[in-house]
Amino acid sequence: MAFFLPILKQLGYLDEISMMLVNVGSRKITTADDYGSQNWGAFAPNLTIIGFDADPEACEAANAAFEAQGQDWNEFHIPIAIAKEVGKATLHITKNPMCSSLYPPNEELIQRFPRFPDLVGLASTVEIETTTLDQFCQDEAIEEVDFLQVDVQGANLQVLQGARALLQRSVFAIQTEVEFSPIYRDEPLFAETDTFLRQQGFTLFDLSPLCREQRSPLHSIKRPGQLLWSDAIYLRDPLQASTPEAFKTPEAIFKLACIADALEFTDYALELLEHLTLTFGQQNPAYNLADAIVQSLAQVPDLLKQGLDNVPVVQKVQPYLQQPIPVLSPEPILEEVVYAPPVQAFQSEHYLRHNQRRLEHLASLGLPLQGRSVLEVGAGIGDHTSFFLDRGCDVVTTEGRADNFEILQQRFPQLQSYLLDCDHPDMTFDRTFDVVYCYGLLYHLQDPVTALQFMAKHCGDLLLLETAVSTDTDELLNPCEEPAASKTQSIHGLGCRPSRSWVYQQLKQHFPFVYLPTTQPSHEEFPIDWTLDYSHQRFTRAVFIASRNPLDNPRLVENIPMQQTR
């Protein structure tokens, strides 16, 4: 998750920023390949993504998928092979097309790894036309590229070598696949790529994931096979003396800070934003990022709890602040609920009515839930579990509090259950479920981002989410304190009240389709007119449906409605 971009966008700092991404090898295999739906979406509508792939069918599929999503940025996938020269080359098509390369497979090596022959084994060859990034940019009058991603199965250095002019005048960050052993014959390895990019003024920031392969089922946990490839991320460093002056202007440093945050190098982004504020903020208010820094840090409950004025960076930028430093707001505590035992707390008149309204609303949505595998996250004592059992579902439950979990197991001894703290999820099984169900948990978490990542990882189709939210229209997390002694509240005493737009954008990081219902449960905590003032209410709540596939359902809308019905 980007840390600073939501606040920067909210405060208008991104309004005039254009962002150009070039993706060489743009075949979309997983949601991780869909750049616009990730952190880069913060730059929309001033975002342009140009993808290249030698496979015309892959480009056609990517263009069709983008058009179907109806997004508000520009994205094009072009069936051109990018290399270091304009000319012709042989494309070696492998048994799995995603492994095709300008280099022939190294049969001697791949035969030693059981998975590789069916992936990288040669199927056929074809002669293709190639061009370079420099030539393409010259032909299309493209002066600047901000972020370059390269994944072309061994020919990554060729792409970079064919972009020397582009790298001299632009490009703030590069993500490229690198190999440590020659999976393809004669391909350049990591050392050559690293040397080339350092000569162009880039600094290595990360190698992740480190991809290993086993020669047999027998391998150790400590050394799980040979390291073969990884993704390397390189960034400019404007604070380094040798960096060209073009990358040291305040405009360039701000764009680099945004890119670093999009790539989730939060510490580096903060260093650059602090440098901008202290160096240029007094002379030019456009580069006084003090309020954006502090408002972003205020989204971290632990920092709020210790007091933001004790954080070193806040102390440095404090003279530049225009707004007061935020403090942690305590959540009102209902004493009669806080210390109630689990059954009494969860089966109070308030909770029973609340659950009835939520579940009858879920049933009214007409979602495909019959007979599916379900992971229920934050099940409490299991008051929602029978909803899925009655529909013939295969249910696995989780709960974070030990005393709640004990009652959950007693009520449903036939079910597989896990004691799981969603602020620190650590599941021992590796299983994907048709449906992940999470009603009433998210706002009790101090780290909802990690929880959503966990849920998305184990979700094969639908994520059903209900949570208390704020009525803010901006993307805000709104951390708050909760009574840890209550069996129904935050385990760690820190929760959040995220805005609907915050939840929506987080879900879009993991799912191509996110919906809200046109209706709300028949309960006063679920507003139907979001333009009204609900400050008198303790809770306002919303329901979200995230999906791997489009849902043709008139009860759902793919936006955040301001008006809903019962």
Distance, CA of 202 to CA of 42 (rounded, Å) = 25
Model pTM score: 0.70
Mean pLDDT, the chain, integer: 92
Q: Is 115 helix (H, G, I), strand (E, B) or coil?
A: coil
Which tokens go with 304?
């709020």
The pLDDT score that the predictor gives to residue 329 is 62
Per-residue pLDDT at 66 exceeds 90: no
Give mean pLDDT, residues 281-308: 90
Sign of CA dihedral 256, 262, 268, 269: positive
| 103 touches 186 (CB < 8 A) | yes
Residue 336 has pLDDT above 60, yes or no: no
List pLDDT tens digits, range 3-17. 999 899 989 999 999
pLDDT at 308: 93
* 55-69 burial: b if 16+ Cβ within 10 Å, else e: beebbeebbeebeeb
More confidently predicted of 96 and 329: 96
> How would you write 272-309 as a 3-class SS string?
HHHHHHHHHCCCCHHHCCHHHHHHHHCCCHHHHHHCHH
4 to 11, 15, 183, 421, 529: CA distances (angstroms): 11, 15, 39, 26, 30
Q: Are 174 and 200 in contact (CB under 8 A)?
A: no
Cross-strand pairs, 439:
466
Q: Is the distance from CB of 515 to CB of 551 less than 8 angstroms?
A: yes
Q: pLDDT (tens digit, 9 = 90+) per residue, 155-168?
A: 999 999 999 999 99
Over residues 470-478, mean pLDDT:
90
What per-residue confidence (pLDDT) applies to 333?
44
Could you give the CA distance from residue 546 to residue 310 in angstroms, rounded to a whole number?
39
If you compute the radius of gyration of the chain from its CA atoms, what whole number of angstroms results? 26
Region 508-523: what's the mean pLDDT? 94
Identify the pLDDT of residue 330.
57
Average pLDDT over residues 464-474: 94
Element of type H or E holding 168: helix 164-169
pLDDT at 523: 95
**pLDDT at residue 427 above 90?**
no
DSSP-derived letter for residue 200 is T
Structure-block tokens of residue 229: 């490839």
CA angle, corner 286, sides to 41 and 284, nearest 5? 155
Q: Which amino acid is present at 446?
A: Q
Percent of the chain with pLDDT over 90: 77
Q: Is the pLDDT of residue 337 over 50?
A: no
The β-bridge relationship of strands 513-517 and 433-439 is unpaired
First to last CA, the chain: 34
Identify the H or E element spanning 100.
none
List pLDDT tens digits, range 251-265. Answer: 999 999 999 999 999
pLDDT beyond 60 at 490: yes
Picking from 461, 366, 458, the residue whose alpha carbon sits closest to that of residue 420 is 458
| Mean pLDDT, residues 426-452 | 90
Mean pLDDT on 136-158: 97
Q: What angle do CA 181, 183, 185 make, to 5 degrees?
A: 100
Torsion of CA 516, 520, 458, 2, to 10 degrees: 50
69 Cβ contact partners less than 8 Å away, ≥ 6 residues apart: 37, 512
Mean pLDDT of all residues in 296-305: 84
Bridge partner list, 183: none
Q: 236 falls in which pLDDT band (50, 70, 90)? A: very high
Q: Would the pLDDT of 521 be above 60?
A: yes
